[in-house]
């Protein structure tokens, strides 16, 4: 549980301070830790942190190589219903935003994932969303 709380705390730091932090080492560590299993509520700030880092132009470069594993984690969280309604809506909006940035690239990334993760993301892309 301590590890999960540490990932959640680190994610909150990224949410608060973003590009001011050494994201090149922090973001891969967060992605590699997910999904969290002991304190499942800490998945929410962690995935929000990764979505925000992908959105933010100042940190987007750090996320380029992490988009596929982030999508995999997001799919597992959505499939297991570990995000709650608000964060799930944010995730759906994030997927829609990714599609607007490059639908073909997103489709290729999704197709590279296992079938159950593809299904979860496809459902997320077709779900109603709100702006992040």
Which DSSP string corresponds to the chain? Answer: -HHHHHHHHHHHHHHHHGGGS-HHHHHHHHHHHPSPSSSGGGHHHHHHHHHHHHH-TTTHHHHGGGHHHHHHHHHHHHHTT-SHHHHHHHHHHHHHHHHHH-HHHHHHHHHTS-HHHHHHHHHHHHS-----
Per-residue pLDDT at 66: 97
Per-residue pLDDT at 9: 97
Q: What is the C-alpha to C-alpha distance for residues 110 and 39, in angstroms, rounded to an integer?
A: 27
Per-residue pLDDT at 111: 94
Average model confidence (pLDDT) for the chain? 93
Peptide bond into 35 cis (omega under 30): yes
Per-residue pLDDT at 124: 75
Per-residue pLDDT at 128: 60
Rounded to a whole number, what is the distance in angstroms from the first to the last CA of the chain? 28
Regions of the chain with pLDDT less than 70 = 127-132
Per-residue pLDDT at 125: 79
Per-residue pLDDT at 2: 94
Position of tokens 């973001």?
Answer: 27
Per-residue pLDDT at 105: 93
């Amino acid at each position: 549980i301590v590890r999960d709380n540490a990932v959640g705390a680190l994610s909150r730091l990224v949410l608060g301070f973003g590009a001011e932090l050494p994201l090149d080492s922090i973001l891969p560590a967060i992605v590699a830790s997910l999904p969290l299993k002991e304190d499942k509520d800490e998945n929410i700030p962690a995935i929000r942190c990764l979505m925000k880092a992908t959105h933010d132009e100042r940190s987007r470069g750090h996320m380029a190589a992490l988009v596929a594993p982030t999508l995999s984690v997001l799919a597992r969280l959505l499939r297991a219903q570990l995000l709650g309604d608000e964060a799930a809506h944010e995730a759906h909006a994030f997927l829609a935003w990714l599609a607007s940035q490059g639908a073909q690239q997103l489709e290729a990334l999704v197709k590279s994932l296992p079938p159950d993760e593809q299904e979860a993301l496809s459902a997320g892309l077709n779900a109603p969303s709100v702006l992040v």
